[in-house]
Amino acid sequence: MGVWDDLEERLKILRVEDRDGIVHEEDGIVWKATPEILDWFEGLRKLRLPDDFRDFACTFGPGKLGTGGWCFYVPGIDWESEPESLDLMYLLDYWENTQKGSNLKLTPFCEKRETERFSSRGVEGRWTITRYFGWNLQDVTDPARHEYGIYEAHPEREPSATGKARRGGRLVKVASTFREFVLDYALADDLGRRGEASGADDLSTPGLIPFRQTRF
């Protein structure tokens, strides 16, 4: 069995769109990475990807996974109409060109968008928050499998009413391995595993997990 077989069986594919704009529903996943693409990416970026991430990228490809809308990026996805959508190379280029301070310690691979109310000088509004999650390559947690600690970066907030975008908070470690991040953090609510460890491979909790091969 593959590392992600149990999770793959739980997927409910909601939307997968190919390069020609054709929407495939319930027809399987269109975009996936290949070992050759991942090898090319590792050589280009001088980065050894975690073994379980490699398997994830070849099993699911990029996309938005779970009811919480966790968007995972993978390398080598050739999106001609919108190449920035889900390609990990684009995300890393964006990160290196826009971030400062401790955020630059991270190599992001996942984002999650949320909204949050704010009040400033009598003005009410909402922030659109983008939370980024990435590897800290200095925190090696399993050298044999190329695993690194996974942290949440300082969130980006953009106001929908008034005020300036701001960044705040600190880097927070959320998982020690990629598999732990997916099963015990990102999909914890979907799998009924909040506060539990993912020691077992069996994902026997009832219910399907939504998957969209898109950021939005």
CA distance 86 to 75: 8
pLDDT, tens digit (0-9, with 9 covering 90-100), for 99-126: 888 888 899 999 998 877 767 667 777 7
The helix (H) or strand (E) run that includes residue 8 is helix 5-9
Average pLDDT, the chain: 82
CA distance 187 to 213: 17
Q: What is the mean pLDDT of residues 61-87?
A: 82
Confidence of residue 29 (pLDDT cuts 50, 70, 90): confident
Residues across the chain: 216
Q: Which pLDDT value is given to residue 147?
A: 98
Domain count, the chain: 1
Q: Which pLDDT value is given to residue 36?
A: 96
Q: What is the mean pLDDT of residues 152-160?
A: 68
Is the distance from CB of 198 to CB of 183 less than 8 angstroms? yes
Confidence of residue 158 (pLDDT cuts 50, 70, 90): low
Residue 63 has pLDDT above 70, yes or no: yes
Is the distance from CB of 32 to CB of 58 less than 8 angstroms? yes
Is the distance from CB of 178 to CB of 50 less than 8 angstroms? yes
Which residues have CB under 8 Å from 143's CB, separation 6+? none
Q: Which pLDDT value is given to residue 84?
A: 57
What is the domain range of residue 175?
5-213
Q: Which pLDDT value is given to residue 165?
A: 46
